């Protein structure tokens, strides 16, 4: 008996949307989330573009993200969530060519990482890296200061709160094209700040990639 089969027997998975047994997100409920079938371009101050698979507003989406990042910290949800990104890439007409990119997850401060047990962006990144066949590099962008939970801040406060909290290992990203990955994009303050420091350290371009956009 393989390990996965054994675990499925012990801990059967139920769909977060309809409770059907088999997976955390069944195909029908995935369709309800509404994976975007076209790429909506985005242009930020430092992010050249942004790819997102689905809107964040759907209560099912919020529930999935919540159970992933907070209690019960279902790390395995990274598979269902990254599948949304992969499906989005497969649905859009003009496939982006990321073959020359490296994938970098938005980092967590060490205390947060210890509390959650994993970096949600990195977990999603692992699956996406396999799909795109590009390397995932997790140790060249670090968060060196703690920030208050972004959810409690106003947009202007968010921008200020992330200033100077990231550190880059310059030699790893110089001249690189970077796909910066995270779970959710809301105001974009965090991703824009990451992109800013990456570009300042010599990255050629930075494109964002998230499961959901608020």
Q: Is 27 in the site for Zn ion (CB under 5 A)?
A: no
**Binding range to Zn ion, per CB under 5 A, among 22-30, 63-71, 110-118, 120-128:** 22-30
Q: Is 17 in the site for Zn ion (CB under 5 A)?
A: yes
Bridge partners of 166, per DSSP, are: 143
Q: Is 137 in the site for Zn ion (CB under 5 A)?
A: no
- Residue corresponding to tokens 């019960």: 72
Binding mask 80-99 for Zn ion (x = CB under 5 A): --------------------
Please tell me the chain's helix, strand, coil percentages from 3-state DSSP, rounded to the nearest 5: 40, 20, 40
Q: Give the SS3 label for residue 103.
A: strand
Rounded to whole angstroms, the Cα distance separating 141 from 178 reads 11
Within a 13 Å sphere around the CA of 165, how many CA atoms are in the beta-carbon half? 22
**Binding range to Zn ion, per CB under 5 A, among 28-36, 139-147, 170-178, 200-208:** 28-36
By CB under 5 A, name the one of 18, 45, 115, 174 that touches Zn ion: 18
Residues 29-68 that bind Zn ion (CB under 5 A): 29
**88 near 51, Cβ under 8 Å?**
yes
Burial of 214 (0-12, 13-18, 19+ CB in 10 A): middle
Question: DSSP labels for 118-170?
Answer: S-HHHHHHHHHHHHHT--B--SSEEE-S----GGGS-HHHHHHHTTT-EEE-H
Q: Is 15 in the site for Zn ion (CB under 5 A)?
A: yes
**Binding range to Zn ion, per CB under 5 A, among 13-21, 34-42, 162-170, 176-184:** 13-21
Q: Is 26 in the site for Zn ion (CB under 5 A)?
A: yes
- Residue corresponding to tokens 């956009």: 213
Q: Which residue's CB is nearer to Zn ion, number 26 or number 47?
A: 26
State in angstroms the smallest separation of the CB of 205 from Zn ion: 38
Q: Is 206 in the site for Zn ion (CB under 5 A)?
A: no
Q: Is 163 in the site for Zn ion (CB under 5 A)?
A: no
Q: Which residue's CB is nearer to Zn ion, number 20 or number 69?
A: 20
| Pair of tokens at residue 139 | 């140790």
Which residues are at the interface with Zn ion (CB under 5 A)? 15, 17-18, 20, 26, 29
């Amino acid at each position: 008996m393989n390990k996965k089969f054994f675990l499925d027997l012990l801990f059967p998975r139920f769909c977060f949307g309809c409770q059907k047994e088999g997976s955390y997100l069944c195909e029908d409920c995935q369709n309800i989330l509404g994976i975007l079938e076209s790429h909506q371009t985005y242009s930020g101050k430092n992010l050249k573009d942004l790819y997102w698979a689905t809107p964040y507003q759907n209560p099912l989406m919020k529930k999935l993200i919540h159970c992933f990042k907070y209690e019960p910290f279902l790390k395995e949800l990274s598979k269902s969530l990254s599948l949304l990104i992969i499906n989005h890439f497969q649905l859009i007409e003009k496939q982006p060519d990321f073959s020359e990119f490296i994938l970098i997850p938005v980092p967590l401060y060490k205390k947060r990482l210890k509390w959650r047990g994993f970096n949600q962006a990195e977990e999603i990144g692992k699956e996406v890296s396999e799909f795109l066949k590009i390397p995932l590099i997790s140790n060249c962008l670090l968060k060196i200061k703690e920030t208050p939970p972004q959810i409690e801040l106003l947009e202007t406060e968010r921008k200020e709160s992330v200033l100077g909290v990231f550190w880059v290992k310059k030699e790893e990203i110089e001249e690189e094209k970077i796909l910066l990955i995270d779970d959710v994009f809301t105001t974009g303050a965090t991703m824009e700040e990451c992109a800013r420091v990456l570009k300042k350290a010599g990255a050629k371009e930075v494109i964002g990639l998230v499961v959901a956009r608020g």
